[in-house]
A and B are shown apart, each in its own frame.
Chain A
């Protein structure tokens, strides 16, 4: 069964460094999402992406964040200058198209900012 994959599974970085989190959505899916979950807290929406542009973003998704689909398979989240409070699990999700409602989530990348 096709699934969303994410790399790396765990990323450790120093405060102020740039990180890129990578996701490979399911191949025939058209809508892509990033969510995050700070330890012990709820899953929070960051951004959705369709047709090579952001379709919706939350207040969390400020200028420090960017997303890109550099080729036909990868979907990336970049954090330009990481802060301690960016430490969280980051989940990528994809959705096939408007006829299908379910989003499929990847296993997540645990980001630790020191």
Chain B
């Protein structure tokens, strides 16, 4: 699996955009970029995923560089409830593949 590198922590003011970076320079052509988050000790929550195009859903946007070696998760208007650990995971999209969680980025949204 491609290895990912994320900053251990970030802060963001409430209402501002939170931009969480991830480096995955060894990503293979069949590997997707997934983002999950874990609020306190709850079960991880899926946010978004992409292969090479930028993606947007109701929670976030995912920007993947053209060479696919890095990506950025954007929470457009962060709220206090977005305080969580955010995980960038690179895995093939096929059936049965497990998610390999790293240490992620601990995002603190402040009032």
Contacts and interface: CB of A to CB of B under 8 A. Distances in A.
Interface of A: 4, 31, 33, 35, 37, 42-45, 48, 50, 55-56, 58, 89, 91, 93, 97-98, 101-108
Interface stretch (B10-18, B20-28, B68-76, B91-99): B91-99
Contact of B95 (A37, A43, A50, A107): A50
Interface residues of B, number: 23
Interface of B: 32, 34, 38, 41-46, 49, 87, 93-104
A90 to B, nearest CB: 10
A31 B34 CA distance: 17
8 interchain residue pairs of minimum CB distance: A105-B43, A45-B98, A102-B46, A43-B101, A55-B96, A98-B95, A48-B96, A91-B43
B95 A93 contact: no
A56 B32 contact: no
